[in-house]
Structure 1
Amino acid sequence: MRVIFMGTPGFSVPPLAEILSQGHEVVAVYTQPPRPAGRGMGVRKSAVQSFAESHGLTVRHPASLKTEAEQAEFAALRPDVAIVVAYGLLLPQAILDAPVQGCLNIHASLLPRWRGAAPIQRAIMAGDPETGVSIMRMEAGLDTGPVCLSERVPIEASTTASELHDTLSAMGASLIGKALTMLSEGSLHCTPQPEAGVTYARKIDKAEAHLNLELPADQVLRHINGLSPSPGAWVIIGPQGAAFRLKLLKAEISPESGVPATVLDDRLLLACGTQAIRPLVVQREGKGPMALADFLRGTSIQPGSMVR
């Protein structure tokens, strides 16, 4: 099939690789333009652009798809289908209508739960027992189109957003390969989403990353897991005048209890509203992630210290 692929972050790369491995003709790859990133703010290509160029694919990165000229260029590619995975731009109706077989989206949730920008993080933070991937036929609404295929995966108490991201990316690649085979055979059928159970995964606000240790430990742990590794849940710790921000990237629940938001021992056990959490992987400002034992070799946090 003649495929236009539309995606931007690393999550989108395995599906593109799967489409190529099946022998489909990827006539163009649409992705977000290169942008300043990293400490030096150097201009960086998206993960999809880097992968596409390394495979000799035509890459386009328009700032908008709303102009008639961009829509005409898109239609001139004569796509059978467009595959959209975390692209980052809304598709106008003219773009949705251009491919003969329409546009299919890989969405990282079990629709209609967690429509929107941050389904992986929100599923973990809400304590969902499972999530998955949905292949959806796109329409004008936000993730409202009929679902063609889906697959489920459990969310364990220790699952981080990074781990779930990789699992769902691979799952999405497998499912879109199956969907394209069925589409080419005329056997792909899609079912309208039910009205019951709709939730919205709003974009993660950096202010949400500040941990509230007054909450029960299970909620605190879900918050840590859902925001790991980025933006990373954090606390302010250390003595007055020398306090610093510390990200908690992985942790576990401990049955001990104490005054919430205090350090309970010399291995950084943090009291919560109920029970406590033990950080396992942390990150200090300006440094990389490190195991708790490595962090404590160079930093002494006294029992009884307040955390905020």
Structure 2
Amino acid sequence: MNSKLKIIFAGTPEFAANHLQALIDSAHQVVAVYSQPDRPAGRGNKLQASAVKQLALEHNIPVLQPVSLKESKAQIELAALDADIMVVVAYGLILPLAVLNTPRLGCINVHGSLLPKWRGAAPIQRSIWAGDAATGVTIMQMDEGLDTGPMLLERSIPIETNDTSASLYSKLADIGPQALMEYLGNIQSLGPRKQDNALASYAKKLSKEEACINWHYSAMQLERNVRAFNPWPVSYFELQSITIKVWRSEVVVNSTYKNSLPGQILQADKQGILVKTAQDCLLLQNIQLPGKKPMNSADVLNGRSDLFVVGSIIPSSSFNE
């Protein structure tokens, strides 16, 4: 087999653009790029090209943006590219069987988890949310299921105690392209491994409702949520009809407050705002008031100490996971 592959790349966000850049820098030939249609963005709500599209255009690579790949016209167009393989990274469109079978070597996907754990839309966030010790990327052969295809190569990294979805996203955006290039360079020797469906879990999408803090959860879970929901949708609570976002927090174990109620403000000082949960306490260290930038809690207290009265109760979310 010729070591230089003709590749179709399909992806949309910055995470995918990192992988496209690695392919552009390699000996392989990217014959075309697929990306989602331009979307309104920014203050003016003007149409914005995806990060992948912008990168492709900079390198004079043809860009295709079908609304769907289920139409025969789109499938004929893809087949005419005569590619060896299609690399899919955070594309966002379903690939029907006709597309999966078109490239000579099929379609491969770079997924942001150690499959079969965290199949689905939000693997990076769910790994933090669940308290996993490690995560990584999986190069997999795509089939008609949701991240169910045979695994071709995996690379793992530890999840640090201060990792947020933003920091983990950045780390996986570094190791993902490395893993992809390693697989493409050893494509003849790396055979597929079937996923064990008994070990599978589903990484459902995040929602703003889920990010609303329920003080009847443990401090450990809420601290994970704060990191998992950073940078979106950001953990928050309502207090005196004001939405307050929480960007950084810490678990505090203090038996002095074991009889306090969930949501009760225990301390509000230069250390932060200490709130009782169902188990242990959560120290709010960096928060954001409406119309303001995120600030250390001590700085917020300098101007709005009236919001955080020691002994008062912060209402809980009624959202059930």
Normalized against structure 1, the TM-score is what?
0.93
Deviations 1:54-104 (A, max 9, x none): 232221111111111000111111111111011000101111111111111
Instruction: Give the counterpart of 2:296 among 291, 297, 300.
Output: 291
Using a 3 Å threshold, how does the CA distance of structure 1 residues 75 and 236 change in structure 2: closer, same or farther? Answer: same
Give the aligned partner of residue 278 of structure 1: 283
Tell whether 2:314 aligns with 1:307: yes
CA contact (8 A) 2:151 2:193 kept: yes
Give the aligned partner of residue 319 of structure 2: none
Whole-Å Cα distance in 1 between the matches of residues 279 and 71 of structure 2?
55
Match of 1:17, SS state, is helix
Using a 3 Å threshold, how does the CA distance of structure 1 residues 31 and 287 change in structure 2: closer, same or farther? Answer: farther
Alignment of 1:78-93 (within 5 A): 78-93=82-97
Match of 2:179, SS state, is helix
**Bigger CA drift: 40-49 or 103-112?**
40-49
CA contact (8 A) 1:270 1:277 kept: yes
Q: CA deviation at 1:170?
A: 1.1
Instruction: Give the counterpart of 1:219 among 212, 218, 221.
Output: 221
Tell whether 2:252 aligns with 1:248: no
Whole-Å Cα distance in 2 between the matches of residues 207 and 44 of structure 1?
27
Instruction: Give the counterpart of 1:268 among 243, 250, 273.
Output: 273
Using a 3 Å threshold, how does the CA distance of structure 1 residues 255 and 8 change in structure 2: closer, same or farther? Answer: same
Whole-Å Cα distance in 2 between the matches of residues 299 and 40 of structure 1?
33
CA contact (8 A) 1:158 1:252 kept: no
Deviations 1:21-43 (A, max 9, x none): 11321111111111123454332
Whole-Å Cα distance in 2 between the matches of residues 217 and 236 of structure 1?
18
Whole-Å Cα distance in 2 between the matches of residues 229 and 39 of structure 1?
19
Tell whether 2:72 aligns with 1:65: no
Match of 2:199, SS state, is coil
Match of 1:268, SS state, is strand
Alignment of 1:1-308 (within 5 A): 1-183=5-187, 186-237=188-239, 239=240, 243-256=241-254, 257=257, 258-266=260-268, 267-300=272-305, 301-308=308-315
Match of 1:145, SS state, is coil
**Bigger CA drift: 47-56 or 17-26?**
47-56
Q: Which amino acid aligns with 1:222?
A: R
Q: Which amino acid aligns with 1:278?
A: L
Q: Percent identity?
A: 41
- Matched pairs, number: 302
Using a 3 Å threshold, how does the CA distance of structure 1 residues 127 and 246 change in structure 2: closer, same or farther? Answer: same
Whole-Å Cα distance in 2 between the matches of residues 288 and 46 of structure 1?
27
Q: Which amino acid aligns with 1:289?
A: P
Q: Which amino acid aligns with 2:24?
A: L
Whole-Å Cα distance in 1 between the matches of residues 290 and 103 of structure 2?
47
Q: Which runs of 5+ in 1 are unaligned?
A: none
Using a 3 Å threshold, how does the CA distance of structure 1 residues 23 and 297 change in structure 2: closer, same or farther? Answer: farther
Match of 1:307, SS state, is coil
Using a 3 Å threshold, how does the CA distance of structure 1 residues 208 and 5 change in structure 2: closer, same or farther? Answer: same
CA contact (8 A) 2:273 2:285 kept: no
Match of 2:197, SS state, is coil
Whole-Å Cα distance in 2 between the matches of residues 56 and 38 of structure 1?
26
Match of 1:230, SS state, is coil
Normalized against structure 2, the TM-score is what?
0.89
**Bigger CA drift: 147-156 or 133-142?**
147-156
Using a 3 Å threshold, how does the CA distance of structure 1 residues 10 and 290 change in structure 2: closer, same or farther? Answer: farther
Match of 1:4, SS state, is strand
Question: What RMSD in Å do the two structures reach over aligned CA positions?
Answer: 1.6
Deviations 1:144-200 (A, max 9, x none): 1100100111223322111111111211111001111112xx223111111320111
Using a 3 Å threshold, how does the CA distance of structure 1 residues 294 and 9 change in structure 2: closer, same or farther? Answer: farther
Using a 3 Å threshold, how does the CA distance of structure 1 residues 44 and 220 change in structure 2: closer, same or farther? Answer: same
Using a 3 Å threshold, how does the CA distance of structure 1 residues 210 and 40 change in structure 2: closer, same or farther? Answer: farther
